[in-house]
């Protein structure tokens, strides 16, 4: 088993092992045992990180794009070299199966690669002039300034990587506050950037009390950009703080993804994809398919096959067994939330076809759960479950399916499976979400924007949008010195 590293903060040029506010325990969710401790940052240490980011910004923002590119590309290469070790630590911290942890780490390296390339590509544009007296009009993208980055525990290397790479590629400096339950994974990512030659102060990393850290960093005068991934409730609070200082704010918040399954869909391929994707990372995925809206003609067959496939998944401690399909929920709070959710469904419409209970013994394990015919007004169908629970509802017309899919304020991702070209176009145009995938579930790639609408946030990461989100638009127009 991979040893758990000593967790340290990065403040300026120093790796700091002692927190000004003490330390906090880190647990393995599969065993509920303490595996290490992380330092808790104090306000004084936050001020030191802010000062470091502020001092480094004038130099880093003027560093030639090709130099920023080279450092980020080297960091991506180091991440690939260290994939196995980082993946093992990730599994220890949050229970993700090994193959998924490896895939996430490799994907994070690809994200860094793409955003590094954007540093070379985004040179601005020339705008044709309207007057003979004008020599030139050019539009450039300038780095917005020091950025504060907040990431959750469910993708502890992918999410920090896309924020860090976007900020650094654009010429911003950054302070990363990862989830307190997964500090070592984020630290090992930061080490790749430092070992790649990143100058001191360009990237800082701190851990500790989320409320204190977020308020202190967001309200600091030095901070010019805030990027947050997490719950809708917290996103609204942080957005309000950022707005008070007129600071740029990107938020990727909750989701409750619908999946519209037409009668013409390739049944075997569709149900296999749905079962595999729903329970990836124990359903702790913001774009996880959750509300399955199935044409009535194939509804019963789909419920039976989905439940049968879910029952075959191997559940266990992924830190000791690489063949595990689904690990534990990340912490006790998530387990309690699943238990409460299922209890609420039992008193409402809907049948628990499979699962619906916690496993006995240590660890935060919850069985893959299938609910047939849940009420559209139930807690499950209106609030993001963020766990291994799927609801399946029949529909009679495609218009009815779209109406159900669009009935919530969430709008992060939506999916559909159909062999009809007409339905494909209709669903792509009609489903209200920042990302819509037809006949597959892959909405996240380095080249494409990742973000939602409504209560799922605003702004995008990844793609060119992930670079531009850390910039401000500047117009320079030049006239002749004499008529």
Residues designated as active site: 252, 286
Token representation of residue 118: 């954007």
Contact 415, 258 (CB under 8 A): yes
Whole-angstrom distance, CA of residue 387 vs CA of residue 368 = 9
Of residues 394, 410, 373, 434, the one with CA closest to residue 260: 394
CA torsion sign for 221, 226, 231, 232 is: positive
Residue 389 backbone dihedrals phi, psi, to 5 degrees: -130, 130
Of residues 82, 234, 266, the one with CA closest to residue 151: 234
Burial category of 361 from C-beta neighbours within 10 Å (exposed 0-12, middle 13-18, buried 19 and up)? exposed
Residue 35 backbone dihedrals phi, psi, to 5 degrees: -115, -10
User: Hey, is 241 helix, strand or coil?
Assistant: helix
Residue 295 pairs in a beta bridge with 395
Say what the alpha-carbon torsion angle 94, 96, 98, 103 is, to the nearest 10 degrees. Answer: -110
Q: Which residues have CB under 8 Å from 238's CB, separation 6+? A: 150, 214, 218, 226, 228, 249, 251
Burial category of 246 from C-beta neighbours within 10 Å (exposed 0-12, middle 13-18, buried 19 and up)? exposed
* Cα angle for residues 19, 23, 29 (degrees, 5° grid): 135
Cα end-to-end span (Å), the chain: 76
DSSP state letter for 286:
T
User: Hey, is 415 helix, strand or coil?
Assistant: strand
C-alpha dist (Å) from residue 70 to 63, 120, 142, 467, 471: 11, 10, 19, 16, 20
Q: What is the DSSP string of 47-102?
A: HHHHHHHHHHHHHHHHS-HHHHHHHHHHHHHHHHHTHHHHHHHHHHHH---HHHHH
């Amino acid at each position: 088993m991979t040893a758990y590293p000593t967790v340290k903060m990065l403040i300026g040029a120093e790796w700091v092992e002692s927190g000004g506010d003490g330390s906090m325990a880190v647990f393995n969710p599969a065993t509920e045992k303490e595996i290490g401790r992380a330092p808790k940052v104090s306000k004084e240490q936050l001020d030191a990180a802010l000062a470091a980011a502020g001092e480094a910004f004038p130099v880093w923002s003027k560093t030639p794009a090709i130099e920023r590119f080279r450092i980020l590309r080297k960091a991506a290469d180091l991440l690939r070299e260290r994939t196995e070790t980082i993946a093992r630590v990730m599994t220890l911290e949050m229970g993700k199966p090994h193959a998924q942890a490896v895939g996430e780490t490799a994907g994070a390296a690809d994200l860094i690669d793409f955003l590094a390339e954007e540093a070379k590509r985004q040179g601005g544009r020339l705008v044709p002039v309207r007057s003979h007296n004008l020599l030139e009009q050019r539009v450039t993208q300038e780095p917005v300034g020091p950025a504060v980055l907040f990431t959750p525990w469910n993708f502890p290397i992918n999410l920090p990587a896309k924020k860090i790479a976007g900020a650094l590629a654009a010429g911003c400096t950054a302070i990363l506050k990862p989830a307190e339950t997964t500090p070592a994974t984020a630290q090992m990512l930061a080490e790749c950037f430092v070992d790649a030659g990143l100058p001191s102060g360009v990237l800082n990393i701190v851990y500790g009390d989320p409320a204190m850290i977020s308020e202190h960093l967001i309200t600091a005068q030095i901070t010019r950009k805030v990027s947050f991934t997490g719950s809708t409730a917290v996103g609204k609070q942080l957005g309000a703080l950022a707005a008070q200082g007129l600071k740029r704010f990107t938020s990727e918040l909750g989701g409750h993804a619908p999946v519209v399954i037409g009668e013409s869909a390739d049944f075997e391929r569709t149900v296999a994809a749905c079962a595999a994707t729903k329970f990836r990372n124990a359903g702790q995925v913001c774009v996880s398919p959750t509300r399955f809206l199935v044409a009535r003609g194939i509804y019963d067959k789909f419920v039976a096959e989905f439940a049968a496939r879910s029952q075959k998944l191997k559940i266990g401690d992924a830190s000791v067994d690489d063949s595990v399909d689904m690990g534990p929920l990340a912490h006790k709070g998530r387990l309690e939330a699943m238990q409460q959710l299922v209890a609420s469904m039992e008193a409402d419409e809907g049948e628990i076809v499979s699962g619906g209970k916690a496993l006995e013994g240590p660890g935060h394990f919850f069985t893959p759960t299938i609910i047939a015919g849940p009420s559209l007004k139930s807690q499950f169908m209106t609030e993001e479950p963020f766990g291994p629970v799927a609801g399946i509802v029949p529909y009679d017309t495609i218009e009815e399916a779209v109406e159900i899919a669009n009935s919530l304020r969430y709008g992060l991702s939506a999916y559909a499976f159909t062999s009809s070209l007409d339905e494909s176009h209709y669903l792509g145009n009609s489903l209200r979400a920042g990302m819509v995938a037809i006949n597959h579930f892959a909405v996240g790639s380095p080249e494409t924007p990742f973000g939602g609408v409504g209560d799922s946030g605003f702004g995008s990461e990844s793609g060119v949008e992930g670079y531009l989100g850390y910039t401000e638009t500047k117009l320079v127009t030049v006239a002749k010195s004499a008529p």
